Amino acid sequence: MSFSVKTVASILAFAFLTLADDCSPIQIRIAYAGPGGMAVSWNTNDRMPEPTVFYGQSKNKLDRRASSRISTTYPTSSTYNNHVTIVGLEPATTYYYMPQCGTQTYSFVTAPDAGDKNAFQFAMVGDLGTMGPDGLSTTVGTGAANPLKPGELTTIDSLQAMKSSYKFVWHVGDIAYADYWLKEEQQGYVKPLNTTDHGKEYDKILNEFYNEIEEISQDTPYMVGVGNHEANCDNGANLTVCVPGQLNFTGYRHHWNMPSQPSNGLENFWFSWDFGIVHFVQFSTETDFPNAPDEPGGKGAEDAGPFAPPGTQLAWLKNDLASVDRNKTPWVIVGGHRPWYVSQSECTECQAAFEPLLLQYGVDLVLNGHKHFYERESAIAKGVAQELDNPTAPWYIVNGAAGHYDGLDVPPLPLVNTSRKIIIEYGWSLFTVHNCTHLTTEFIASGNGSVLDTATLYKDCTC
């Protein structure tokens, strides 16, 4: 079993964290926070009475500060999550910042104003988990498959190497795969088998993943959506082994700080943001809609949620889509974890809840993960395919191939009639928003950076 320098560094960082007793910031991450806003989050070994970020437009002059009272933890977590939102920033501007107790200065670039017509790129990943001895490596346990090839780059490596090519990362669910700890132990990949460790292995894997992505998330907004593998410590298989703090999406709710407040959404479950000529929307395919799979009694058996009164998420989505100014943001791109157009076990409950609204309000592109392969579909309306030359229906792309332990699947034949390309290889998607008429996707093979698929959507729009 061999590991990259980055993986070894993340393991050592976690080991140091368990010994440290200070306010040193780790797992630094940023996210868009409404017009003129940026959320800065980090973890510490101790609770911070008033988490503070020092920032400015010069690396050598951090002459402004923003603070909050948000420093939270939960049972089984070895750290505290600190969240500060900076507001009043100029659009498309570079700022430098340092979290309290830090010794290093980082930078970020704010989003451009809604309506800014400059072309840009963004990265999309799904089902990206921990790398190394507690995740995806060059070996697997008994009954598992899809190890890395010796010397092969991971998706995290690939994203880091190409970081200058995109403005932000959008991770549409299934983050870290800490809930695979028991599967890995049962298959002899991680030893010993210990179901009474009080959640320590689960917490360890979470911390390793957050350390691994920090080189990206510290200066590139890392936007996340919720997936089923955030729900609990054993993916609904045996909740009796899950201790308090590892149920009901607890870790996910504490760790991230998505722009739900400026978009009138809910926590890290549903929210939206603008970037130039695109309105982006993240919704939850896990809870809070009729027959949601992760709610008590749902087919996902996660026994989680709901997190709002009945109808809240769908009412929010309807209002959010209805309020989009298509003169400013002619493109509308939405993300949700579970797909309903895919060549393997569709989420029909999701389709019944969400597709009518996406059709009604002219959504252009739908991004999903959940399935551990890449499948580019056509544009689709109620099961009927349309090609990409000015379709009236959304274009669907499924990419859950970013990689985690045992992380690829082969869909059964025949493929659905809306399928246009299948790739079974670890990788991620790079999107280019050229202008108000053309939007291109590329599937990037993580192992070597090659482009294995590309397609362009054309919409008849006046810029």
Q: Domain of 381: which CATH number?
A: 3.60.21.10
- Cα(277)–Cα(380) distance, rounded to whole angstroms? 23
232 and 380 part of one domain: yes
Quick one: which of 122, 127, 156, 150 has its CA closest to 137? 150
Query: What is the domain extent for residue 92?
Result: 5-109
296 and 402 part of one domain: yes
Residue 87 sits in a domain whose CATH number is 2.60.40.380
- Tell which of 86, 109, 132 closes a domain: 109
Going edge to edge, which strands form the sheet with 80-86?
Answer: 26-32, 38-44, 80-86, 70-72
189 and 254 part of one domain: yes
CA R_g for the chain: 21
- Cα(439)–Cα(459) distance, rounded to whole angstroms? 9
161 and 194 part of one domain: yes
- Tell which of 49, 81, 109 closes a domain: 109
Q: What is the pLDDT of residue 4?
A: 54
User: Over the stretch 337-370, which tens digit does the pLDDT of each residue have?
Assistant: 999 999 999 999 999 999 999 999 999 999 999 9
Cite the DSSP H helix spans in 73-174.
155-161
174 and 50 part of one domain: no
> Does the residue 167 lie in any domain?
yes
> Does the residue 463 lie in any domain?
no
99 and 126 part of one domain: no
258 and 364 part of one domain: yes
68 and 140 part of one domain: no
Helices H, strands E: what count in the chain? 8, 24
User: Over the stretch 92-126, which tens digit does the pLDDT of each residue have?
Assistant: 999 999 999 999 999 999 999 999 999 999 999 99
- Cα(61)–Cα(352) distance, rounded to whole angstroms? 53
133 and 212 part of one domain: yes
Per the structure block, which two tokens stand in for 247?
């149920």
Contact by Cβ (8 Å): 11, 178: no
- Cα(200)–Cα(302) distance, rounded to whole angstroms? 20
**Which amino acid is present at 408?**
L
Q: How far is CA 1 from the centre of its chain?
A: 27
> Does the residue 51 lie in any domain?
yes
Contact by Cβ (8 Å): 368, 337: yes
**Number of residues written out for the chain:** 463
How far, CA to CA in Å, does 462 sit from each of 1, 24, 165, 325, 459?
54, 50, 27, 14, 9
> Does the residue 115 lie in any domain?
no
- Cα(187)–Cα(149) distance, rounded to whole angstroms? 20
- Cα(126)–Cα(225) distance, rounded to whole angstroms? 9
Q: Is the dihedral of CA 213, 217, 221, 224 positive or negative?
A: positive
Give, for all 463 residues of the chain, the pLDDT tens digit.
444 545 544 444 444 443 345 899 999 999 999 999 999 999 999 999 999 999 999 999 999 999 999 999 999 999 999 999 999 999 999 999 999 999 999 999 999 999 999 999 999 999 999 999 999 999 999 999 999 999 999 999 999 999 999 999 999 999 999 999 999 999 999 999 999 899 999 999 999 999 999 999 999 999 999 999 999 999 888 899 999 899 999 999 999 999 999 999 999 999 999 999 999 999 999 999 999 999 999 999 999 999 999 999 999 999 999 999 999 999 999 999 999 999 999 999 999 999 999 999 999 999 999 999 999 999 999 999 999 999 999 999 999 999 999 999 999 999 999 999 999 999 999 999 999 999 999 999 999 999 999 999 999 998 8
> Does the residue 114 lie in any domain?
no
**Which amino acid is present at 451?**
V
DSSP code, position 316: H
- Tell which of 77, 109, 141 closes a domain: 109
Contact by Cβ (8 Å): 412, 420: no
56 and 130 part of one domain: no
Q: What is the pLDDT of residue 113?
A: 98
> Does the residue 84 lie in any domain?
yes
Quick one: which of 73, 82, 89, 80 has its CA closest to 32? 89
- Cα(215)–Cα(193) distance, rounded to whole angstroms? 32
Q: What is the pLDDT of residue 364?
A: 98
Q: What is the pLDDT of residue 22?
A: 81
Q: How far is CA 227 from the centre of its chain?
A: 9
367 and 430 part of one domain: yes
Quick one: which of 10, 30, 194, 202 has its CA closest to 106? 30
Contact by Cβ (8 Å): 330, 361: no
Q: What is the pLDDT of residue 43?
A: 98
229 and 338 part of one domain: yes
* pTM of the entire predicted model: 0.94
Query: Quick check: helix, strand or coil at residue 75?
Result: coil
Quick one: which of 430, 40, 7, 402 has its CA closest to 217? 40
Q: Are strands 374-381 and 419-423 parallel, antiparallel or unpaired?
A: antiparallel
- Cα(268)–Cα(341) distance, rounded to whole angstroms? 24
Contact by Cβ (8 Å): 294, 307: no
Task: Name the domain count of the chain.
Answer: 2
